A and B are shown apart, each in its own frame.
Chain A
Amino acid sequence: MADTRIKDAEPPALLKLQVNEPHAVAGHAVEGKAPAAIREFLNKRGSGAAGDGAFGALVLACALSILGIVVLILFVLIQQSKLSLHAFGLKFFITSAWDPVMGDFGALPFIYGTLVTSFLALCIAVPLALCVAIFIMEICPKPLRGPVAFLTELLAAIPSVVYGLWAVFVLVPIMRDHLGPFLVKFFGWTGLFSGTNFGEGLLTASIILSIMILPVISSITREVMGAVPVSQKEGVLALGATRWEMIRIAVLRNARVGIVGGVILGLGRALGETMAVTMVIGNHPDIAKSLFAPGYTLASVIANEFTEATGDLYLSALIEIGLALFLVTVVVNTIARLLVWFVTRNSAREAR
């Protein structure tokens, strides 16, 4: 019975093909043997273990150097700010004295200036960055998409000091002569725009900061918006939603955690941005209510006074400010990275 079954199912061509001669292949005639030199050479070639070990150690060392750098930075910052840490303790961050002559230092005005400028910069940059991201991802005609994206990325390529230069000679006069008086006229009652308007100050610094952090926020926003599955967008459109409803329901809702991550990343940039801010903020350790008033940020006080700091305590106080800035940006960036990672990881998992 087994015999017949095999015979029945056996494809007749199967065995015939086996005895087929191969077709003649043009140029196939190969004369002689492979050069003996090759086999001899390859057999003498060793296991390569020494090379592999050395190379592995080298790349590991380079990768570990990144950990080393961070630990080293933390170590030297603590070491160099010891004097100030001992002298003032935590009081350093809640007092507003800044008196190099008397040797009395407190970082509160700089913390205030940093928080105000970063907050205002976010208020300006976030809506605009969302506009840019929505425009590029959902509205812009395809051929324009690349160039517009490129232009907004170009904003990130301009050095900070060039922003500062532009701000000093273009933005400051505009603030002094046009935007400032306009704000006083319409929003003067809030008290936020009182005092003499020199053109420099917290508000000007915030505006230049907002321009500088915008590309960071919009590029991350674009990335997380791009991670929203097309099927979800189509699903909402298929229900008869308008484009805006689709963006709101499918895109923004899905991407919101990642967008928050992008905003926090922008915050990290704003907190530490130095040169452009230093050039237009007025550099005065005041805690003023008016946004026209000159201020100081953590970064700009270091930039401005570090090389002129006389006395060990003064220098040590400035380095402690640097240490604080380091720790704050590490925390802020960690939160932002985790949020962005969380969103893109989920979408990657769905794609699989």
Chain B
Amino acid sequence: MKFFLIAATFLSALVALIWVGIASAIPVVSVAELGAPEVVGTEVEVKDGQVQLIHSFAPLVFTVSSRNVKGQLVVVESPRSVPENFKPGIDVGLRGTFDRQKNRFVASVVTTKCPSKYEASKDAKEAGPYTGSQQAAAPGATQIR
């Protein structure tokens, strides 16, 4: 009986924590939704950001657009480090708040996707638009010796 009481208390505490966690969750929005009144001033996570232009590295200021819906551009400012492999065209994860006065998104977290070993795209399956200009091993055009 004691065990069941302890287990019940334990589980109740956990359920309460889960409830608090869910209640305090951060909404995930797209770049296109960033200017919306219900989003301004609220901490959000941006799901479809893609870097378009880098303005400065310290502080980190850059422009993102939506990966899926082209058009809207949003300026992002962050006090954080420049993430790995940060460049125009790369997908970024952002967390922060849209500041209406500055008209920019102030990001507390900026992450780039880690190119994992299990990534789906394979060079051989979709030969990409690689120019080969810096290819050290085999300069010049295709050679068949």
Q: Do A and B bind each other?
A: no
Query: Which residues of A approach B to under 8 Å, CB–CB?
Result: none
Query: Which residues of B approach A to under 8 Å, CB–CB?
Result: none
